[in-house]
Amino acid sequence: MDSAVTLRELTERGLVYAPGVWDGLTARLAEQAGFDALCASGFAVSAALGLPDAELYTMSENLGAVRVIREASTLPLVADIDTGYGNAVNAARTATAFAAAGVGGVFMEDQVSPKACPICVGDPVDLVDVPTAVGKIRAVRDAMPDDVLLIARTDARGDEAISRAEAYVAAGADMIMPVTKTFDSIEDWERCHAAVGVPLMATLTASTWTEREFTPDVLRQIGVRLALLPTQVLMAVTGAARQALRRLASGEPPAEVSADALPHHDFVDLIGFPEVEQMQRKYLPARTEA
C-alpha cells in the first residue's frame, strides 16, 4: 500500500474495508494481513480501557490511541470522534487535533453527549436537534484540511435518518454513515444513497444483520465506499485471551497453553525485533571484546 495515498483517494477508487484497531499491535497486525485502511474503533478504544462504549473516555485518551496507531502503521486511518466531545466549538477543536495526528477521515454522530452505543442499549438513543448537528458538521468541515474525509453518522431511523443525512451533506459531509439500526433493509440503504448523492459508510459490526447480509456486491449496490469491520478483531482477541487466562488460572501447565498460541519467534518477528537489530548494527558502535 502506497503510504502517500489518502483515504479520500482510496475510497474514490472503489470499496475499501477497514478493520477496527485500538493500539499499535492491532494496527501492525492489520497492515501485515493486507488491509488497505484502518479504523480507530471507538468501541475498541473504549474496551481497551476497560470501559463500555458510552463516551466515558476523554477526547485526549481517544487522540492518544490514534497517535499510537499512526506511529505503528502508515495505512490511511479513519477515526471515531464520537459526538465531537461537546458543542460545535469543541467538535472543531477535536477535528483539528485528529487531523494534525494524521487521520484520513473522521466520523461524528448526532447523538446527545454522552453517547450510547446503539447496539448495546434497547431504546432509541437521544439525538441533538438538526440545527445543532448541522452546526457541528460545518464547524468540523471548516477545521480540517479538504483532503480529510468528514463522515456524518446518524443514529436516527427511517425517513428521519434520510432527512438528517441530506442536511448533513448540505453542511459539508463527504459521506453518510447510517448505523446498523438506522434501516431494516437493503432497499432503505439504496433509498438513502439516492437521496444524499454522496457515498455511504457502513459498519459490519459483529452479530448484526449488516455483517451477515452486506456482501461486497451488496455494498457496491447501495453506494458504500468504506466498510468498517469494527468489532471482529476485538471479539476474537478477547475470546482467545479469556480462554488462555482461564486455562492458566485453572492450573493447566503454561507450556500447554503456550503450545496453542502464536510461537514466540513468530511474535518477535511480527513486533519488529529484526528491524531493531538491523538498526543497532547500522548505528551503534561495534562491540569490542574485553
Please write down the HEC assignment for all residues of 178-231: ECCCCCCCHHHHHHHHHHHCCCEEEECCCCCHHHHHCCHHHHHHCCEEEEEECC
- 104 and 219 in a single domain? The answer is yes
278 and 203 in one domain?
A: no
Q: What integer pLDDT is reported at residue 290 of this predicted model?
A: 59
Q: Are residues 91 and 174 in the same domain?
A: yes
E strand or H helix at 8: helix 7-13
Does residue 137 fall inside a structural domain? yes
Does residue 262 share a domain with residue 233? no
Residue 240: how many other CB atoms lie within 10 Å: 13
pLDDT digits (tens, 9 = 90+) for 158-207: 999 999 999 999 999 999 999 999 999 999 999 999 999 999 999 999 99
**163 and 261 belong to one structural domain:** no
Question: In this structure, is residue 15 part of a structural domain?
Answer: yes
Average pLDDT over the chain reads 95
Q: What pLDDT is attached to residue 159?
A: 97
Does a cis peptide bond (omega within 30 degrees of 0) precede residue 131?
Answer: no
Assess if residue 170 is contained within a domain.
yes
148 and 11 in a common domain: yes
Residues spanned by the domain of 67 = 7-237
Number of domains in the chain: 2
Residues 228 and 272 in one domain: no
**pLDDT attached to residue 20:** 98
Strand-pairing partners, residue 80, are: 107
pLDDT of residue 173: 98
Rounded distance between C-alpha atoms, residue 261 and residue 259, angstroms:
6
> Do 266 and 171 share a domain, yes or no?
no
CATH of the domain at 113: 3.20.20.60
Q: Say yes or no: 133 and 263 in one domain.
A: no
pLDDT of res. 1: 56
In a domain, 243, yes or no: no
**4 — pLDDT class (breaks 50, 70, 90):** confident
Model confidence, pTM: 0.94
C-alpha cell belonging to residue 181:
439500526
Summarize the confidence of residues 71-90 as an average pLDDT. Answer: 97
Q: In the prediction, which pLDDT does 234 show?
A: 97
251 occurs within a structural domain: no
Question: CA dist 72 to 89, 100, 154, 241, 243, Å?
Answer: 30, 16, 31, 22, 27
Integer distance in angstroms from the first to the last C-alpha of the chain?
47
- pLDDT tens column, 97-156: 999 999 999 999 999 998 887 777 767 889 999 999 999 999 999 999 999 999 999 999
Helices 232-249, 24-33: axis angle to 10 degrees equals 120
Residue 242 inside a domain? The answer is no
Query: Quick one: pLDDT at residue 2?
Result: 56
Cβ neighbours of residue 154 closer than 8 Å, sequence gap 6 or more: 109, 110, 127, 161, 164, 165, 168, 176, 177, 178, 179, 182
Residues 180 and 270 occupy one common structural domain: no
Domain identity same for 269 and 138: no
Mean pLDDT in residue range 76-83: 97
Residue 2 in domain: no
- DSSP annotation string for 216-278: HHHHHHTTEEEEEE-SHHHHHHHHHHHHHHHHHHTT--HHHHHHTS--HHHHHHHHTHHHHHH
Tens digit of each residue's pLDDT (9 = 90 or more) over 250-277:
999 999 999 999 999 999 999 999 999 9
- Residue 289 in this model has a pLDDT that exceeds 90: no
Helix boundaries (H) for 49-181: 59-72, 88-100, 130-143, 158-170
Asked whether residue 168 falls in the same domain as residue 219, the answer is yes
pLDDT of residue 38: 98
Q: Average pLDDT in the 218-225 region?
A: 98
Q: 290 lies in a domain?
A: no
Label the pairing between strands 77-80 and 105-109.
Answer: parallel
